[in-house]
Amino acid sequence: MKMISKISKIVLALTVVGSSAFAQSLADAKKAIDAEQYEKAKSMLKNLTVTQANKDENFFYYGWVYVLQDYPDSAKTIFQKGIAVNPKSALNYAGLGAVALQNKDRSTATTNFNQAVSLAGKEGEPYLYVGKSYLLNDVDGKVPAADANAAIAVLTKGKDVDKKNAQILVALGDAYRTQSKNTEALGNYQAALDLDPKLAHAKVATGVIWKYANNFEASENEYKAALAIDPNYGPAYREWAETDVRWAFSDPRMASAKIKEATDQYKKYLSLTDMSLESRLRFADFLLLSGDYKTLQTEAAALSKDAAQNLKVYRYLAYAAYENKDYAAGLKAMNTWITKADPKRIIPRDYVYLGKLQIESKQDSLGVASLRKAAELDTSNVDVYAEIAKALYGQKKYVEAGDAYKKYTEKGKGVKLTDYFYEGISYYYGYDEKSPNADSVLTKADSALSYVIQKAPTTAMAYLYRARVNELKDKDRNNIVGYAKPYYEKYIEVVTQKGGTPDDQTKRGLAEAYAYLGTIYEFKEKDDAKAAENYNKAREYDPANKQAAAYFSRKGGGAKGK
């Protein structure tokens, strides 16, 4: 019996040691995932799925890395293996839901998420990863409100189930942050730190909030605090780099220094990851964000030898080539990406670049079609209408160009007065008196040019074109009202006040204005002296002005004032 007792104790001791080693190994893998050391994590987890093949959670975390790297097909295969090991694996059902979301199959995603939650019991992790799945579609810190709300709902339930799970609180903070609900986000991050003061992730997440609030010093302090907890926590350097880029764009005086600092911080991040293809692709994203297109093209060219492993390399080759005016190479790369990649991997911005590359390659009609496709796929990206408008204007499709400019000026970002000006003149050039919407086109042209004048009262060309628009309103040539008169007069006033010798274009504009005034005085006001005065000035600025020439021909000569 003593011998049996001794053997039992040895077996028990070995079991405890084995269990501890497994737990530590999984913990190390999860720590590597959090540090964005994905290749290291995959290697560890692949081994665990062999040595601990009866543990369904090993399969989940292995598959989750593939989700984070945007390889949904590989992830799905691994999650299904996890369910084969344990048909009631809540985590792996959460993983299948994440894959379905990446594949834009929301119905299947919901079914799998519901299954995960129903199997979760008192475990908080399934709630956590369902919530994280809804937050995967993060673009510049934002996710669709419906996804964020779904994440908040499931994470709140998870928090109630597992009150000591700090990671759930961080994810809940992330969900609130994507909707700019910063008070709620900060509250959850702090609650997570109260549970686990060594949670570097929560410090970095707090820094991201200050980044989007443009409180860059506070943001940097949070990244420093995260690095004080863990000097090798790579995501702190990555977010710091992206914060520096935002700082550079917000304060031109800091731009040069901050872009350099950002690049240095990102290199530190890369040194702390595994320098995998995916890490380098993320670096390409950073270079795109920072506007360093020359380095991006060099980096993309270096990555091109691995393009067979990840076709996304072609996306960066195309983006960089366009920005560096290498349009032929860019179009070739983008066509490769669009035609070979899984259609679910194509994003609206790809069609934006495809359209711009096609336009620069003299394929204007194709280019406009691609830009319209981008606008259809992402209705919130109103800025694409600026590109559509320019292309249509170049094709002399003026009313369509005016409509595109109008969409841009109504809701676009970074709209300039020149955009309103081109909206106005697009409608002016597109006017067709035989069209059933002719009056509407003139009204839109007048409105856009009026806005330019309101905001910049010394914009001479806006007065000139507004005069032309209003001249078109005088449809009865035998009974002229003179709608254009005040705008031609204002054009003359603004040009005269600027002083100096007018250029040839301005001379022609002045001649046009004086000739119109001559017409008004001759036919409407019946004031020959004023008519002659204005026609004379028209002829002085442009001897070839037809209206002035016709007037003096009618008067039987060319003597000034006669």
Reading the block at residue 140, the tokens are 């510049």
Question: At residue 452, does pLDDT exceed 60?
Answer: yes
Reading the block at residue 317, the tokens are 């080759």
Question: At residue 23, does pLDDT exceed 50?
Answer: no
Helix H or strand E encompassing 277? helix 277-290
Distance CA(462)–CA(442), nearest Å, equals 14
Among residues 437, 409, 436, 439, the alpha carbon closest in space to that of 423 is found at 409
Q: How much is the average pLDDT of 278-301? A: 86
**Identity at 268, one-letter amino acid code:** K
* 476: exposed, middle or buried (Cβ count in 10 Å: 0-12, 13-18, 19+): exposed
For 290-307, the pLDDT digits (tens) are 888 888 888 888 888 877
Among residues 123, 64, 61, the alpha carbon closest in space to that of 88 is found at 123
Per-residue model confidence (pLDDT) at position 477: 67
Residue in this structure with the two tokens 């669709």, named with its chain if needed: 144
Confidence band of 557 (pLDDT split at 50, 70, 90): low
Question: At residue 102, does pLDDT exceed 60?
Answer: yes
Contact 555, 547 (CB under 8 A): no
Backbone phi, then psi, for 210, in 5-degree steps? -65, -30
SS3 380: coil
Contact 273, 279 (CB under 8 A): yes
Higher-pLDDT residue of 561 and 485 is: 485
Q: How much is the average pLDDT of 375-382? A: 90
Per-residue model confidence (pLDDT) at position 409: 97
Contact 542, 508 (CB under 8 A): yes
Distance CA(560)–CA(531), nearest Å, equals 11
Reading the block at residue 501, the tokens are 């010798």
- Vertex 101, ends 28 and 350: CA angle to 5°? 100
Q: How many CA atoms lie within 13 A of 59 on its CB side?
A: 26
Contact 198, 166 (CB under 8 A): no
Distance CA(518)–CA(511), nearest Å, equals 10
For 503-554, the pLDDT digits (tens) are 999 999 999 999 999 999 999 999 999 999 999 999 999 999 999 999 999 8
Reading the block at residue 286, the tokens are 């950073």
What's the mean per-residue pLDDT of the chain? 91
Question: At residue 562, does pLDDT exceed 60?
Answer: no
Reading the block at residue 201, the tokens are 């992730």
Contact 126, 92 (CB under 8 A): no
Distance CA(58)–CA(64), nearest Å, equals 10
Question: At residue 20, does pLDDT exceed 90?
Answer: no
Distance CA(226)–CA(197), nearest Å, equals 10
**Identity at 350, one-letter amino acid code:** D
Per-residue model confidence (pLDDT) at position 22: 42
Please state the domain extents for the chain: 382-448
Radius of gyration of the chain from its Cα atoms, rounded to whole angstroms: 33
Contacts of 299 (CB under 8 A, 6+ apart): 280, 283, 284, 287, 316
Reading the block at residue 19, the tokens are 């269990």
Among residues 133, 85, 93, 86, the alpha carbon closest in space to that of 115 is found at 93
Per-residue model confidence (pLDDT) at position 145: 93
Contact 505, 495 (CB under 8 A): no
Q: Which residues pair with 139 in a beta bridge?
A: 142
Least confident segment among 86-100, 236-250, 447-461:
236-250
Distance CA(276)–CA(369), nearest Å, equals 36
Backbone phi, then psi, for 142, in 5-degree steps? -125, 145
Contact 287, 324 (CB under 8 A): no
Instruction: Pick left, alpha or beta for residue 36 (phi over 0 → left; psi -120 to 50 → alpha; otherwise beta).
Output: left
Q: Centre a 10 Å sphere on the Cβ of residue 221 and count the other Cβ atoms it contains.
A: 15
Question: At residue 12, does pLDDT exceed 70?
Answer: no
Q: How much is the average pLDDT of 164-177? A: 96
Contact 233, 211 (CB under 8 A): no
Residue in this structure with the two tokens 């300039």, named with its chain if needed: 416
